[in-house]
Structure 1
Amino acid sequence: MKEKTWLFSLLFAAGTAYATATHATEASGKDPEKQEQDGQTAPRSRLTLGGYGEAVYSRNFYSDNYLRYQGQNVEKYKGQKHSRFDLPHVVIFLGYDFGHGWTLGSEIEFEHGGTESAVEIETEEGGEYESEIERGGEVALEQFWIQKSFCPQLNLRLGHIIIPVGGTNQHHLPTEFFGVYRPEGENTILPCTWHETGISLWGQTADWRYEILLVPGLDSDRFGRQNWIQGGAGSPYEFKIGNNVAGAFRVDNFSVPGLRMSVSGYLGNSFKNTLSSTESTQYKDVKGTVAIGAFDFAYNAHNWIIRGNFDYGHLSDSRLISQYNANMSKNSVSKKQGVASDAIAAGLEAGYNLFSQIGQLNDRHQKLYLFGRYDYYDSMYRTDKAIQDYQWCGRHRIAAGINYFPIRDIVLKGEYSIGLLKSQYNNEPSISVGIAYAGFFSR
Structure 2
Amino acid sequence: MMNRATQTQGTRLGRLGLLAAAVLGIPHAFAEEAGGPKGRLVVGGYGEVVYQHFDYSADVNRYNYPDKFGKENRGATDIPHFVLSASYDFGNSWKFSTEIEFEHGGSGSALEMESEEAGEYEQEIERGGEIVLEQFWLEKTFSERAHVRFGHLVVPVGRTNSHHLPTEYFTVLRPEGESRILPVTWHENGIEFWGRTKHFKYQVLLVAGLRAEGFGSANWIKGGSGSPYEFNVASSGAAAFRVENRSVEGLTLALSGYLGRSASNSLKYKRYEGLSGSLAIGAFDAQYRRKGLVFRLDSLYGHLGDSGAISAVNKSLPGLSDSPRDNVASAAATYGAEVGYDVFHGRGGLGRLLPFARFEYCNSMEKTDPGILADTRYSRRTATLGLNYYATEKIVFKGEYARRTLASPYKPENTISFGVMYAGMF
TM-score by length of 2: 0.93
**What corresponds to 1:58 in structure 2?**
52
**Correspondence for 2:398:** 413
Cα displacement string for residues 131-177 of structure 1 (whole angstroms, at most 9, x for unaligned residues): 01111100000000000000000000000010000000000000000
Matches within 5 A, 1:106-117: 106-117=98-109
Matching residue of 2:89: 97
Q: CA deviation at 1:99?
A: 1.1
Q: For residue 128 of structure 2, what is the amino acid of its counterpart?
A: G
- What displacement does 1:379 show? 0.1
Conserved 8 A contact 2:28-2:42:
no
Alignment of 1:154-173 (within 5 A): 154-173=146-165
Counterpart of 2:277 in structure 1 is: 288
Query: Could you say if the C-alpha distance between residues 9 and 225 of structure 1 is closer, same or farther in structure 2, counting changes exceeding 3 Å?
Result: farther
Which amino acid in the other structure matches residue 318 of structure 2? S
- Structure 2 Cα separation of the partners of residues 10 and 215 of structure 1: 31
1:125 to partner: Cα distance: 1.3
The answer as to 2:336 corresponding to 1:312 is no
* Aligned-partner Cα distance in 2 for 1:240–1:349: 36
Q: CA, structure 1 residues 168+156, in 2 after alignment: closer, same or farther (shift >3 Å)?
A: same
Q: Please give the per-residue CA displacement for 1:249-306, whole angstroms capped at 9, x wherever unaligned.
A: 0000000101110000000000020111326xxx542100110000011111121111
Range with greater deviation from structure 2 (10-19 or 113-122): 10-19
Q: Give the AA of the match of 1:213.
A: L
Per the TM alignment, residue 387 of structure 1 is displaced from its structure 2 partner at its CA by 1.6
Greater shift, 325-334 or 184-193, is seen at 325-334
Q: 1:239 to 1:218 in 2, by over 3 A?
A: same
- 8 A Cα contact 2:358 2:383, kept in partner: yes
Q: How many angstroms does 1:81 deviate by?
A: 3.0
Q: 2:377 aligns to what? A: 392
CA distance in 1, matches of 2:208, 2:195: 22
Whole-Å separation in 2 of the counterparts to 1:118 and 1:232:
30
Is 1:208 the equivalent of 2:219?
no
| Residue 291 (structure 2) pairs with residue 299 (structure 1) | no
- 2:219 maps to 227
Structure 1 residue 11 displacement after superposition: 4.6
Where do 4+ consecutive residues of structure 1 move more than 4 Å? 8-14, 16-20
Q: Among 16, 24, 28, which residue is 2:35 paired with? A: 24
Match in the other structure for 2:137:
145
The answer to whether the Cα contact below 8 Å between 2:55 and 2:414 also exists between their aligned partners in 1 is yes
1:18-69: per-residue Cα shift (whole Å, max 9, x none)?
Answer: 65533437xxxxxxxxxxxxxxxxx952100000000000001111111111
Equivalent residue number for residue 122 of structure 1: 114
Distance 1:302 1:388 in 2: 48
| 2:181 is the counterpart of 1:189 | yes
Gaps of 5+ in 2: 1-18
TM-score (norm 1): 0.89
SS in 2 for 1:320: helix
Q: Does the aligned pair in 1 maintain the 2:190–2:206 contact within 8 Å?
A: yes
8 A Cα contact 2:28 2:43, kept in partner: no
1:14 and 1:94 in contact (8 A); partners too: no
Q: Alpha-carbon deviations, 1:98-151, whole Å to 9, x = none? A: 111100110000000001211000111121000011111000000000000000
Change (3 A) 1:82 1:165: same
In the superposition, relative to structure 1, how do residues 44 and 256 fare at CA in structure 2: closer, same or farther (>3 Å)?
farther
Residue of structure 2 in register with 1:404 after alignment: 389
Aligned-partner residue type, residue 292 of structure 2: N
Amino acid at match of 2:343: L
Q: Check the 8 A contact 2:363/2:379 in 1, yes or no.
A: yes
CA contact (8 A) 1:18 1:47 kept: no
1:263 aligns with 2:274: no
The partner residue of 2:411 within 426, 432, 441 is 426
What is the count of residue pairs matched by the alignment? 408
Residue pair 2:258, 2:279 contacting (<8 A) in 1 also = yes
Deviates more, 1:80-89 or 1:177-186: 80-89
Deviation at 1:328, TM superposition (A): 0.9
> Do the aligned residues in 2 keep the contact of 1:166 with 1:309 (CA within 8 Å)?
yes
Over the matched positions of the two proteins, sequence identity in percent amounts to 46
For residue 307 of structure 1, give the secondary structure of its aligned residue in structure 2. Answer: strand
Q: Deviations over 1:377-432 (max 9, x none)?
A: 10000011222321100111000010001111100000000001112101111100
1:368 aligns with 2:353: yes
3-state SS of the aligned residue for 2:371?
coil
Shift of 1:183: 0.5
CA separation in 2, counterparts of 1:130 and 1:54?
A: 33
User: Which of 250, 263, 267 lines up with 1:275 in the alignment?
Assistant: 267
Question: Do the aligned partners of 2:141 and 2:148 also contact (CA within 8 Å) in 1?
Answer: yes
SS in structure 1 at match of 2:99: strand
> Structure 1: which amino acid aligns with 2:284?
F
Deviation at 1:17, TM superposition (A): 8.0
Question: What SS does the aligned partner of 1:137 have?
Answer: strand
Instruction: Specify the alignment match of 2:168 in structure 1.
Output: 176
Q: Please state if 1:339 is matched with 2:339.
A: no
Cα displacement string for residues 62-107 of structure 1 (whole angstroms, at most 9, x for unaligned residues) = 111111111xx21211212321101000000111011111001100
Q: 1:336 to 1:103 in 2, by over 3 A?
A: same
> 1:414, 1:14 → 2: CA distance?
30
> Aligned AA for 1:385?
P
Q: CA deviation at 1:224?
A: 0.7
In structure 2, the CA distance between the partners of 1:85 and 1:20, relative to structure 1 (3 Å rule), is: closer
Unaligned runs of 5+ in 1: 1-7, 26-42
**Aligned partner of 1:181: which letter?**
L
